Amino acid sequence: MFPGGTGPAADPVGSHHERVIRSFQPRRSRVTAAQRAALERLWPRWGVEVDGQRRLDLGDLFGDPALPVVLEIGFGMGEATARMAADDANTGILAVDVHTPGQGNLLRLAEEYGLDNVRVANGDAVILLRTMLAPGSLAGMRIYFPDPWPKKRHHKRRLLQSAFLDVAAPALREGALLHCATDWEPYAEWMLEVLEAHPAFENTVPGGGFAPRPASRPLTRFEGQGLDKGHRVRDLLFRRVTGPTGEAPSA
């Protein structure tokens, strides 16, 4: 915990939830002075601990019950998140990550750009989806450049799995968009296969396959690194429909 009790907790879940295989490792190193100052100043106002102990009221969190909210899972240093928030002030972004420098940087950018439609969550997105978000409370979900865990023995750590979609689907209202992007071709094929096989989602691309990059998704730091290496970036756009996980609720 940061001095004075402000800032994201090192382990917000504690012993409240069972330990499962995680697709991430919390990282607290190399927090700059500006990032630390932003965390200490802004976390009490815009930060959310993913402790699994309460149900979030997104209307209260953003100060507007009518504001559609999109969940972004993993946001790096937050530059792309801040740009999307600035480009669409009529959508709230609940951005969840465990990277402390990125959390501080996103808060700094939100303050610098005068954004009031960004909230930063600290912890495991699976716990957030499973226990803290009401059914049908999300207007969309974004997962950009998740860790591909390229080694076969690590594939079980990949975020995009059928079990993850089972958890994510109930929180998404009917018609909500799930937008994924990756520059790792084997993971792109994996994502496409998993998503097309899941009955709670349908591909927005007629005939199936990958989608063109929407103009609403800015180039991210990771994307630039991938392009520099000659990687091909793939976007996937799937819509929430009804399925065996239950009727897709409308907010």
Half-sphere exposure of 42 (CA within 13 A, CB side): 24
Name 27's bridge partners. Answer: 99
DSSP per residue, 63-130 = T-TT--EEEEE--TTSHHHHHHHHH-TTSEEEEEE-BHHHHHHHHHHHHHHT--SEEEEES-HHHIII
Q: What is the rounded CA–CA span in Å between residue 140 and residue 69?
A: 7
51 given a catalytic annotation? no
Of 48, 35, 145, 44, give the one whose Cα is nearest residue 92.
48
Question: Is residue 128 a contact partner of residue 96, using CB atoms and an 8 Å limit?
Answer: yes
Active-site residue identified among 147, 166, 183, 235: 147
Active site residues: 147
